[in-house]
């Protein structure tokens, strides 16, 4: 599958009208939300693994998943505390 070429023009906020400005603001919010989701994704994944292991009553997998969850949470807390 080939992609059609695309071009982006660099514009400043003062060059945009109302609707375009709203779209630009939504795009900025989208980028920020995606970055935050990328940051918390390891915690979400580990929590899903832990919940699944718990529901399956698989003790060794639950212990492993909880260890992953602790590591992911610690990493996230460290990352957020430093910046």
pTM of the complete model: 0.66
In a domain, 75, yes or no: yes
Q: How many domains does the chain have?
A: 1
In a domain, 2, yes or no: no
Side-chain half-sphere of 59: how many Cα atoms within 13 Å? 0
Band of pLDDT at residue 75, cut at 50, 70 and 90: very high
In a domain, 67, yes or no: yes
In a domain, 31, yes or no: no
In a domain, 68, yes or no: yes
Question: What tokens does 7 get?
Answer: 């071009």
Range of the domain at 66: 41-83
pLDDT of 45 higher than 70 = yes
In a domain, 74, yes or no: yes
Band of pLDDT at residue 83, cut at 50, 70 and 90: low
The 10 Å CB-count burial string (b at 16+, else e) for 25-57 is: eeeeeeeeeeeeeeeeebbeebbebbeebeeee
- The mean-pLDDT minimum among 3-7, 24-28, 30-34 falls in 3-7
């Amino acid at each position: 599958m080939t992609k059609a070429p695309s071009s982006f023009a660099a514009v400043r906020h003062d060059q945009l009208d109302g609707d375009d400005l709203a779209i630009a603001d939504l795009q900025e919010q989208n980028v920020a939300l995606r970055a935050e989701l990328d940051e918390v994704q390891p915690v979400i994944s580990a929590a899903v693994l832990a919940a699944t292991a718990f529901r399956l009553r698989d003790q060794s997998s639950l212990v492993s998943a909880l260890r992953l969850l602790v590591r992911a949470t610690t990493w996230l807390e460290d990352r957020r505390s430093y910046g």
